[in-house]
DNA sequence: GTACTTGTTGAACG
DNA sequence: TCGTTCAACAAGTA
């Protein structure tokens, strides 16, 4: 599942490849995923890509005054196929190999040099839309703070937790209205790193625990970005790189396996409808 | 056949 | 109004 570090990785790869390319066509047969009106398609075709950036888990393709916005949700995958380059990121799709397009391809964006960007999504949770500059600004205003930005201060984090005193700390971390971009994997990992049990009430955290958690979140996200994300597909780029943060996960997806620190089996329950992993000995 | 998986939103509740 | 909980979406994989 693409989370913030995966999206960041994709964005960096795409930014290095797509800048200055001109969009010559967009195709899709899936109206749920592809949300551009015919008029918007006309506005986008012929435009040159200025930059590719990330906001929360959205991928924003800046066309200068106009933007294409892509959200991969759980199972989305982006593959760029150009001359001698095949780069991809997001959810791996089993059995489809490197065939493009495949049966899960929902949107194809073609560029002036014969290369193309494929949006594949097994479960059709993701979407592609377009927004003018002012529409994008509106969209961004509704989102919480970026956990990797300078604004994510200890003061802000304390205030945020004080709003959520009665909620479990894990649920608080997943609430996108305050901090955007922390997903299930990184919520569990941040709580392990700061030695806090996920089902503690946010209001019960000691000041040092709040500080530890505040430090752990960007630290883990940055490390995951360095490792090119947790979930990368079997596609690799020209350098043969693939995401390998999965090796560094301490609790997520390791239910019943030994805690890497103390050896006790990692526990798992369902909290806020999400699989939640923790070590009963290491986390207080 | 069935349980399981999750990002995001919006509805419903007190 | 605010905080909080929870269902819904979707469909492949185990």
DSSP annotation string for A137-149 = HHHHHTS-B-TTS
A155 is catalytic: no
pLDDT by residue for chain A (284 residues), tens only, comes to 678 888 888 899 899 999 999 999 999 888 889 999 899 999 999 999 999 999 988 999 999 989 999 998 888 888 888 876 677 777 666 556 567 788 889 999 999 999 999 998 888 888 999 998 888 888 887 788 899 999 999 999 998 898 888 889 999 999 888 888 888 888 999 999 999 999 999 999 999 999 999 999 999 999 888 887 765 544 445 444 556 677 678 898 888 889 999 999 999 888 888 889 999 999 99
Token duo for residue A271: 């909290």
Nucleotide nearest to A168 (CA to C1'): C4
Provide the CA A180 to C1' B5 distance, Å, integer: 21
A3 is catalytic: yes
List of protein residues whose beta carbon is under 7 A from strand B: A 1, 3, 56-58, 71, 73-74, 125, 142, 174, 176, 180-181, 183-185, 270, 273-275
| Short-list A222, A173, A228, A167, CA closest to A12 | A228
Catalytic one among A3, A8, A146, A189?
A3
A257 is catalytic: no
Burial annotation A58-73 (CB, 10 A radius, 16+ → b, else e): bbbbbbeebbbbbbbb
Residue whose token pair is 């073609």 = A110
Q: Which residue is nearest to nucleotide C11 (CA to C1')?
A: A123
Beta bridge partner(s), residue A69: A60, A129
Catalytic one among A5, A17, A54, A57?
A57
Global pTM reads: 0.90
DSSP helix/strand/coil, A266:
coil
A226 is catalytic: no
**Is strand C within 7 Å of residue A32 (CB)?**
yes
Provide the CA A270 to C1' C9 distance, Å, integer: 19
Q: Where are the beta strands (DSSP E) in A139-181?
A: none
Q: Which nucleotides of strand B lie within 7 A of protein CB? A: 4-9
């Amino acid at each position: 599942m693409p989370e913030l570090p995966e999206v960041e990785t994709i964005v960096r790869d795409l930014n290095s490849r797509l800048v200055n390319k001109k969009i010559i066509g967009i195709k899709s047969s899936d109206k749920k995923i592809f949300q551009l009106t015919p008029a918007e398609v006309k506005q986008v075709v012929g435009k040159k890509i200025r930059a590719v950036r990330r906001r929360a888990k959205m991928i924003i393709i800046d066309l200068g005054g106009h933007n294409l916005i892509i959200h991969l949700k759980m199972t989305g995958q982006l593959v760029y196929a150009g001359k001698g380059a095949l780069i991809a990121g997001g959810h791996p799709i089993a059995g489809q190999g490197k065939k493009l397009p495949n049966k899960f391809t929902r949107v194809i964006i073609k560029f002036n040099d014969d290369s193309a960007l494929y949006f594949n999504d097994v479960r059709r949770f993701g979407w592609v839309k377009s927004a003018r500059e002012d529409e994008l600004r509106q969209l961004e205003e509704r989102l919480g703070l970026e956990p990797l930005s300078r604004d994510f201060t200890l003061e802000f984090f304390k205030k945020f937790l004080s709003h959520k005193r009665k909620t479990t700390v894990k649920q608080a971390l997943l609430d996108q209205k305050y901090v955007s971009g922390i997903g299930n994997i990184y919520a569990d990992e941040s709580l392990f790193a700061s030695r806090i049990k996920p089902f503690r009430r946010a209001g019960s955290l000691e000041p040092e625990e709040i500080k530890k958690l505040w430090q752990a979140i960007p630290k883990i996200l940055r490390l995951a970005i360095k490792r090119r994300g947790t979930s990368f597909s079997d596609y690799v780029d020209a350098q043969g790189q693939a995401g390998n943060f999965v090796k560094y996960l301490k609790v997520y997806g390791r239910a019943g396996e030994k805690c890497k620190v103390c050896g006790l089996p990692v526990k798992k329950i369902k909290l806020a409808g999400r699989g939640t992993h923790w070590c009963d000995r290491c986390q207080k």
